[in-house]
Amino acid sequence: MLFDYSREPHSDIAFVDMKSFYASCECVRLGLHPLTTSLCVMSRSDNSAGLILASSPVFKQVFGKKNVSRSYDLPFDLKTRKFNSYVAKKQGLPTDPGFIAYIESWAKRTLIVPPRMNAYIQVNMEIQKVFQEFAAPDDIFPYSIDEGFIDLTSSLNYFIPDSSLSRKEKLDLLSARIQKRIWQETGIYSTIGLSNANPLLAKLALDNEAKHCRNMRSNWSYEDVESKVWKLPQLTDFWGIGRRTEKRLQGIGITSIKELAQAHPDLLKKEFGVMGLQLWFHAHGIDESNVHKPYRPKSRGIGNSQILPYDYHLQTDIELVFREMAEQVAIRLRRKKKKTQLVSIHASYSKIEGLPSIHCQQKIEPTQSTKVLSDTVLRLFRSKYEGGAIRQIGVFYGELVEESLQFFSLFDDPIALEKEEKLQQTIDRIRDQFGFTSLQKGSSLLESSRAIARSKLTGGHSAGGLDGLT
């Protein structure tokens, strides 16, 4: 080993993950056991192209479906619950009578429910209260709605004063108490990755071992780097390595975490920059981050995308949604007191079209004007669109600057600009006070409009990400 781990940071970390959180919440609501019920949380659950947001362990085991897939990928018809031979053959699944009977039997017992984001947020708040029974608020870092880090370094001896036990034993015992309290308060089962070293190793323990343990807990610390971290079967089993990074690593002859750890750091820096050095340190189990000062990436822009409820064939309907999204993201821009210098859009065609997605962008003078941004978005779309059914669109504003930055053109009308700015400010104030839907264009009542429907969703699912505007 190149490192003396006695000199590295040592914290007692628990990374807690709620098992199939959305699906478990729905099972508890219905009085069903989260670990023995086949249930799927599906957006647009009455739609043949419904999006699977979450599913119970049994659902995943039976149908082999991960989250964020589509209803048309299921081996059974959503409405009839009959076996879908076409999908099965396409996915290489058996089509013998025994397997068909097995799938149809479970399909009939499977519950398909729509998402209830507000309810999941409420359960998350209850879980956060449980965390605070065992650690100070500063020792808790929520990682997402269903998982988070807890630094239990200051809590171990308080809750488990037995001096005959090691810190590893104490961490396991205290984590078991946390699991029990979460279940008592919410009915939700949790999995916990543990480490007496750092957050990285706790996360690796969770992802690669704890989920497969009977007690749903596992501890990886510095002494486990060679025996566990370096033995991970795939590069993508490692935190921070996706398919693209895996391919780039393979391109320079690195096919395992052990090879990554033994590679020359200069080679990794040349290929990946600073991130390459970070990967090298992480491969040795070294992580300088901590729960109290977590790394937060610097925002480089504001944007949002949405999957349309059905295929949009008419250009006027597609442009209406683009116009709404341009306005929605512009509101977020003004809330952050920023202006954008780069407008980018994308539009993905329906599967039936078989056409490549539209991607284009344009540099502009700094602005936060809804009119300017809407006009730019539509102009970009019209420059590339030549017909066809659209199913997904997105709008992004980048290269942000402070709103105080102002450029004037000789062709600008200062009075008109001032009037428009005051109008935008007035509209924003009214919406802040009375809700996003208090002021809407008449076009929002059209069937193809998505503004009102999306404003009723929660958090990142809301209209353009307009948290709290409803």
Q: Looking at the annotation, which residues are catalytic?
A: 147
In terms of phi and psi (left: phi > 0; alpha: psi -120 to 50; beta: otherwise), the region of 466 is beta
CA–CA dist 68, 88 (Å, integer): 19
CA–CA dist 16, 171 (Å, integer): 13
CA–CA dist 77, 103 (Å, integer): 11
> Tokens representing 280?
């090298």
CA–CA dist 448, 21 (Å, integer): 32
- Candidates 326, 337, 324; CA nearest to 366 is 337
Evaluate the CA torsion angle 153, 179, 205, 17 in order and state its sign: negative
CA–CA dist 180, 51 (Å, integer): 32
For 229, other C-beta atoms within 10 Å of its C-beta total 25
Q: Is 249 exposed, middle or buried (0-12, 13-18, 19+ CB in 10 A)?
A: buried
> Tokens representing 358?
């539209």
Bridge partners (DSSP) of residue 194 are 14, 219
SS3 354: coil
CB 147 within 8 A of CB 193: no
CB 193 within 8 A of CB 206: yes
Distances (CA, A) of 277 to 2, 256, 260, 273, 274: 15, 16, 10, 7, 5
- Candidates 327, 303, 277, 299; CA nearest to 401 is 299
Bridge partners (DSSP) of residue 177 are none
Sheet holding 39-43, edge to edge: 69-70, 51-55, 39-43, 111-113
Strand pairing report for 111-113 and 39-43: parallel
